[in-house]
Chain A
């Protein structure tokens, strides 16, 4: 029983580390534009590095027919755009101050962030 309990606690620790602590790989914004695929519950890539003071063009292509994925929201910039299925939709962002700016679907299940440095 002791072992099972320890395994359970280890599992909890793993969940905390994997979902909340671990910093995943990031993708650098190249020449101001990047294509983000919206599919299978994730934005790909989801973590995008942007230079401070640089404007960004995020080209979203939604491949997931689920209505959950149909709107992308940048709550810091008061932007919410509808993403048509299988068609690119460009979201243009003005140069930003350094910081972390999340973008999500309306239900916060799709999650990504812009890391402005």
Chain B
């Protein structure tokens, strides 16, 4: 039975491993395929330009590319045949693609290139074979255009492949973080095994300087671990017994023995990789217009080419037919649907990858776009602005009870509560060696406190509101509590059988860099609002310390989302930052929900954006990256729109009546080839983006 179970687990595990393994294999195969395609295109480009460049130079500096004698006809016929060979060798993929699309009633970039180069070649062959059918002035051949266009577009495609490869650098780096082997204890012996064979609950040993292979919980040892590659947090994190370690991070100083808790595709790293990949391929709404245009683009360009040719034939100067052919060819060649189509996905690819490098995981294109538009940011206080690990700082014992007794009673009540403040009380009692008693009829009153029976007494422990609700007299100590609150401490009242017996102040230290990060957000023009369940005075003191002017205090957990909608009703685009677990409804309601993780214990699936490290700088980085990416997309879309909107009319000859300018098809080919390369290169510029120094 045990064996059967183990076997099932093993098989299940193998399946998981196969999935994680394939990510790396697929990437390697993709790179190999891209490399092979790159080489092929470069070869084809060399052949095409090998014919096109000398022909063009001949036309520019040596002779006319016209047909007027039999000798010239034979010469050009040979060139025409050579051009056909180039078309078949270097441009075959355009013609096959164009034909296959055509019979499928669709049209794409291949269609435009095939029609453009095909028209130029066919016209030239007509001039060679039947010069008498075209006017003398129009007996010009365009073989050089055909060869040059094919060569230039092949070159553009090849360079684009190279540039595209760079857009996925971030994901490659993440995949590269995965260790190849792990040292596990099997039958009392340490053995090195491939990472794929590590099972859940295996005991894994990591020495100084080694990568932590899978996720787990430390059993023995002490070390500092560099988690910067996942969280963006530059300081190494101390790890000891019962701490979590994450696969892909680097063990620095000591040796650790840990129990594997997540392996294969369940590790944090594997989930991050899969989420980043998914997000990189998703499109923000800003790209939708370009998609709609792309859908109608190619047939529209074909129609414009026909109209342009007709216009030249009807109204153009002599030789009208030559002008008509040149303009139609140039229109077909210059139009670049690819630049439009590439504008958005390339920037998203780089931007999402860049964010991941900074420890910011963006769920999809929609989240990326909305994050760039945020006007108001709600920050939950506990765990977001503060450390989230409150400590007891002051105990005031009253009514004949001493401090230790007050703490003991409070800890007794709080031992069943999961609230961070409750835990601080229990911890504090433990530190002082005070053992809590037994509690009866425990009841947690959300947002207010707790109550229960201890040693025959009815105890109440909580905030001012709870005391007032239960008619406990607290006015004599109100001032003392307010002083605590004004020092950013949270005062809590302890009452026994209807009488106040103590005041306990708990303070949650503000994270070291919260102030600087909040300043960054405010500098970006974002209205920062703090949200807390804490009392008004404490909230005010914390808000003042970190430089926040607006705050919502005494908010019950279930009312957090109301505050989000309150700001939304004021017309704000609202970001909400919380720990992703207690704030889930508010995070979901916000335009963008940011889950802030401490270390790597993150709820990756729960938010639009996950911040891997606890620092609020991650939040400012997320917004900075999303804004930079959207700016980049806008530049790309603008460039692609303008390029096509200006290029096509110029190619059609719109400038000719005013300036006597008609574009050469070769220039059009070069412009087209480099327009999509420009888009990819501009997207790659994002790789250099650095969030503001902090």
Contact = CB atoms under 8 A, between A and B. Distances in A.
Interface of A: 1, 4-5, 8, 11-12, 15-16, 18-20, 22, 24, 39-42, 44, 46, 65-68, 70-71, 73, 75, 78, 80-82, 84-85, 87, 104-111
B383 interface: no
Nearest to B295: A108
Contact of B313 (A1, A18, A22, A40): A1
Contact of B338 (A19, A65, A107): A107
| Interface core residue of B106, B295, B298 (most chain A CB under 10 Å) | B106
Contacts of B101: 40-42
Interface stretch (B30-38, B71-79, B206-214): B30-38
Interface centre among B40, B102, B108, B157, by most A CB within 10 Å? B108
Contact of A109 (B100, B277, B313, B341): B341
Contact of A106 (B40, B104, B161, B342): B342
B342 A80 contact: no
25 contacts: A1-B314, A11-B306, A15-B299, A16-B303, A18-B102, A19-B106, A24-B104, A39-B100, A40-B97, A44-B104, A65-B40, A66-B37, A67-B34, A67-B37, A68-B338, A73-B281, A75-B291, A82-B277, A84-B26, A84-B29, A105-B341, A106-B341, A107-B294, A107-B337, A107-B345
Interface in B356-401: 364
Given A11-B306, A107-B338, A108-B341, 10 more contacts: A1-B313, A12-B306, A19-B107, A39-B100, A40-B101, A41-B98, A78-B282, A81-B281, A85-B29, A107-B340
Contacts of B627: none
A78 B363 CA distance: 12
B617 interface: no
Given A65-B36, A66-B37, A107-B341, A4 B100 contact: no
B378 to A, nearest CB: 26
Contacts of A12: 303, 306-307
Interface in B324-351: 337-338, 340-342, 345
B309 interface: yes
Nearest to A8: B310
A5 B110 contact: no
B650 to A, nearest CB: 21
B109 interface: yes
Contacts of B309: 8
A80 B276 CA distance: 12
Contact of A80 (B36, B96, B282, B306): B282
Contacts of B106: 19, 41-42, 46, 111
